[in-house]
Amino acid sequence: LREHEEFTKVKNIATIELGRYEIETWYFSPFPPEYNDSLKLYFCEFCLNFMKCKEQLQRHMRKCDLKHPPGDEIYRSGTLSMFEVDGKKNKVYGQNLCYLAKLFLDHKTLYYDVDLFLFYILCECDDRGCHMVGYFSKEKHSEESYNLACILTLPPYQRKGYGKFLIAFSYELSKKEGKVGTPERPLSDLGLLSYRGYWTRVLLDILKKHKGNISIKELSDMTAIKAEDILNTLQSLELIQYRKGQHVICADPKVLDRHLKAAGRGGLEVDVSKLIWTPYK
Ligand code: ACO
Ligand code: ZN
């Protein structure tokens, strides 16, 4: 699959149909060769099987009995749900999701050994079912303390706060594991913007409330954000001074307020009391 990708980096599929949306694609994705002569692919929005024509999809929809992603619902708040899908138990779903995601992810080399990953699928639910909004993937075991491998909000849902919700969710899982985490590199431009936004808001909120000195280590313990990401974020906000060989946080209230005003919207909140989850063993 990797070889195939390397040699044919021309964008193949131009649009996809998914649920009630027709979506223009952004990048090449290495679909199996028999799909490469079609400009448009039709996805079942629940099992993510893809087809070359509408009639095939309609036939599929009559017999597909899924109304939500396969796997466990681990979070529900209002109409928002999160499902955890184990790539080993749902291989085809995991692979379909990777093909779909690659259409919007440029520089990521997706590996299709989905066995090693868990997929967290964010859905908006109504009486017709749970409709995928976006997702992130996470290695079951990461030596580099990655808590997120790939993140995607489907284009019709972008810029509404779902990305920050997914990022916040990934850190909530890390907190439950008692570990710090960081996203896999490289980040895309949009990925970096979203992470910078998330880190900035979380750190500023704490610094604003906290009285007295606080260290980067303490911030990291509270947020599950890796110390390096905290240092970089605070440095870019010019809240770090280097004194006697040490990084010191200088949180002048006026400066904090100025940054908070510029930090934009907070995104959708994760209500931790509605997360029912135990770490993967
Ligand atoms: N232009 C400028 N800023 C943007 C844009 C944009 N088009 N989109 C997001 N941002 C920034 C903004 O700062 C925004 O916060 P704000 O609205 O308060 O200003 C912040 O990112 C997050 O916005 P959200 O609405 O929470 O995020 P969204 O749901 O749009 O998802 C994501 C962000 C997942 C990065 C999305 O753009 C996406 O799926 N992109 C394609 C795939 C991708 O690049 N994924 C990241 C790869 S890196 C990795 O996977 C580890
Ligand atoms: Zn289906």
- Cα of 47 vs centre of ligand 2, distance in Å, is 4
Written as one letter, the residue type at 250 is C
Residue 61 lies in a domain: no
Range of the domain at 194: 189-262
- Per the structure, how many domains does the chain have? 1
Residue 117: what are its φ and ψ, rounded to 5°? -120, 150
Per-residue model confidence as pLDDT tens digits over 89-114: 999 999 999 999 999 998 776 666 89
Are 24 and 14 contacting, i.e. CB atoms less than 8 angstroms apart?
yes
Residue 148 lies in a domain: no
**CATH number of the domain where residue 252 is located:** 1.10.10.10
Q: Is the CB of 208 under 6 A from ligand 1?
A: no
Residue 34 annotated to the active site: no
Residue 102 lies in a domain: no
What span, in angstroms and rounded, lies between the C-alpha atoms of 53 and 141?
Answer: 39
Both tokens of 163, joined, read 């990305």
Per-residue model confidence as pLDDT tens digits over 232-259: 999 999 999 988 888 899 988 899 999 9
Report the Cα 138 to chain-centroid distance in Å. 9
Residue 197 lies in a domain: yes
Contacts 24+ apart (CB under 8 A), 153-156: 154/18, 154/21, 154/23, 154/104, 155/23, 155/24, 155/104, 156/21, 156/23
Q: Is the CB of 182 under 6 A from ligand 1?
A: no
Residue 103 lies in a domain: no
Q: Give me the DSSP letters along 3-60.
A: HHHHH--S----EEEETTEEEE--S-----GGGTT-SEEEE-TTT--EESSHHHHHHH
Per-residue model confidence as pLDDT tens digits over 144-199: 999 999 999 999 999 999 999 999 999 999 999 999 999 999 999 999 999 999 99
Q: Is ipTM over 0.90?
A: yes
Instruction: Ligand 1, residue 189: give the atom nearest the CA.
Output: 44
Cis ω for the linkage preceding 186 (within 30 of 0): yes
Residue 249 lies in a domain: yes
Residue 200 lies in a domain: yes
Whether the pTM exceeds 0.90: the reply is yes
Both tokens of 260, joined, read 């908070």
Residue of 193, 195, 226, 260 with the most ligand 1 atoms within 8 Å of its CB, for mutation: 193
Are 207 and 251 contacting, i.e. CB atoms less than 8 angstroms apart?
yes
Can you tell me which residue has the tokens 């868990």? 118
Nearest CA to ligand 1 atom 14: 194
Both tokens of 234, joined, read 């605070």
The ligand with the least distance to the CA atom of 185 is 1
Q: Is the CB of 105 under 6 A from ligand 1?
A: yes
Grade residue 9 by pLDDT with cuts at 50, 70 and 90: low
Residue 169: what are its φ and ψ, rounded to 5°? -60, -40
Residue 93 lies in a domain: no
The ligand with the least distance to the CA atom of 63 is 2
Query: For residue 1, what pLDDT is reported?
Result: 43
What span, in angstroms and rounded, lies between the C-alpha atoms of 266 and 269?
Answer: 8
With 0-12 CB in 10 A as exposed, 13-18 as middle and 19+ as buried, what is 171?
Answer: buried
Query: For residue 7, what pLDDT is reported?
Result: 47
What's the sign of the alpha-carbon dihedral 186, 190, 191, 192?
positive
Q: Is the CB of 181 under 6 A from ligand 1?
A: no
